[in-house]
Amino acid sequence: MQVKEWIKNAIKSEENEKYLENGRDFINEDALHKALHENISPSDQEIRRIIAKAKSIKALNIDETAKLLHVNNQNLWNEIFTAALEIKRKVYDNRIVFFAPLYCSNLCVNNCAYCGFRSENKEEKRRILTIPEVKTETRHVLNNGHKRMIMVYGEHPQSDVNYMIETIKAVYSVEEKTPKSGRPTSIRRVNVNAAPLSIGDFKKLKECGIGTYQVFQETYHKETYRKVHPQNTLKGDYNWRLYSLHRAQEAGIDDVAIGALFGLYDWRFEVLGLVAHAANLEKHFGVGPHTVSVPRLTPAIGSQLSTQSKYIVNDNDFKKLVAVLRLALPYPGLIITAREQPAIKREVIKLGCTQTDASTKIGIGAYQECVDNDTKKSEQFTIGDPRSLDDIIKEVAEMGMISSFCTAGYRCGRTGEKIMGMLKHCVEGKFCKLNAVLTYREYLDDYASPETKAIGEKLIEKEIGEIKSQHYFMKNNGKIFNDFMRNYEQIKGGARDIYI
Ligand code: SAM
Ligand code: SF4
114 and 226 part of one domain:
yes
Cα separation, 494 vs 407, whole angstroms: 19
Ligand 2, residue 106: give the atom nearest the CA.
8
Question: What pLDDT score does 453 carry?
Answer: 97
Cα separation, 336 vs 357, whole angstroms: 8
- How far, in Å, is the centroid of ligand 2 from the Cα of 22? 31
399 and 482 part of one domain:
no
277 and 386 part of one domain:
yes
- Kindly report the backbone phi and psi dihedral angles of residue 193, in degrees, each rounded to the nearest multiple of 5, phi listed first: -120, 110
Mutate to test the pocket of ligand 1, among 261, 274, 293, 337 (most ligand atoms within 8 A of CB): 261
349 and 224 part of one domain:
yes
Judge contact between 436 and 459, C-beta under 8 A: no
- How far, in Å, is the centroid of ligand 1 from the Cα of 105? 13
- How far, in Å, is the centroid of ligand 2 from the Cα of 264? 14
Question: What pLDDT score does 420 carry?
Answer: 65
pTM above 0.85, yes or no: yes
Picking from 300, 210, 298, the residue whose alpha carbon sits closest to that of residue 248 is: 210
Cα separation, 153 vs 163, whole angstroms: 10
395 and 448 part of one domain:
no
Is 230 inside any structural domain?
A: yes
Domain final residue, candidates 345, 378, 410 = 410
User: Pairing state of beta strands 291-293 and 256-259?
Assistant: parallel
**Residues whose CB is less than 8 angstroms from the CB of residue 91 and which lie 6 or more positions away in sequence, other chains included:** 57, 330, 331, 423, 426, 429
Cα separation, 202 vs 218, whole angstroms: 21
Question: What pLDDT score does 56 carry?
Answer: 95
Ligand 1, residue 215: give the atom nearest the CA.
5
Judge contact between 342 and 358, C-beta under 8 A: no
461 and 378 part of one domain:
no
Judge contact between 51 and 83, C-beta under 8 A: yes
Residue type, 350: K
Picking from 492, 361, 393, 406, the residue whose alpha carbon sits closest to that of residue 188 is: 406
Nearest CA to ligand 2 atom 6: 118
332 and 458 part of one domain:
no
Give residues (CB < 6 A) around ligand 1.
114-115, 152, 154-155, 193-195, 215-216, 218, 261, 295, 297-298, 300, 306, 339, 380-381
Is 43 inside any structural domain?
A: no
Question: What pLDDT score does 431 carry?
Answer: 76
Nearest CA to ligand 2 atom 4: 112
Nearest CA to ligand 1 atom 3: 195
Is 341 inside any structural domain?
A: yes
Q: For the chain, what is the domain count?
A: 2
Q: Which ligand is nearest to the CA of 295?
A: 1
- How far, in Å, is the centroid of ligand 2 from the Cα of 44? 42
Domain final residue, candidates 380, 410, 440 = 410
Cα separation, 36 vs 447, whole angstroms: 48
Nearest CA to ligand 1 atom 5: 195
Question: What pLDDT score does 372 carry?
Answer: 47
Render each residue's pLDDT in the chain as its tens digit; 500 residues: 689 999 999 999 999 999 999 999 999 999 999 999 999 999 999 999 999 999 999 999 999 999 999 999 999 999 999 999 999 999 988 999 999 999 999 999 999 999 999 999 998 889 999 999 999 999 999 999 999 999 999 999 999 999 999 999 999 999 999 988 899 999 999 999 999 999 999 999 999 999 999 999 999 999 999 999 999 999 999 999 999 999 999 999 999 999 999 999 999 999 999 999 999 999 999 999 999 999 999 999 889 999 999 999 999 999 999 999 999 999 999 999 999 999 999 999 999 999 999 999 999 999 987 544 455 666 777 899 999 999 999 999 999 999 999 887 666 666 666 666 665 666 656 778 899 999 999 999 999 999 999 999 999 999 999 999 998 889 989 999 999 999 999 999 999 988 88
Task: Give the residue numbers spanning the domain of 479.
Answer: 428-492
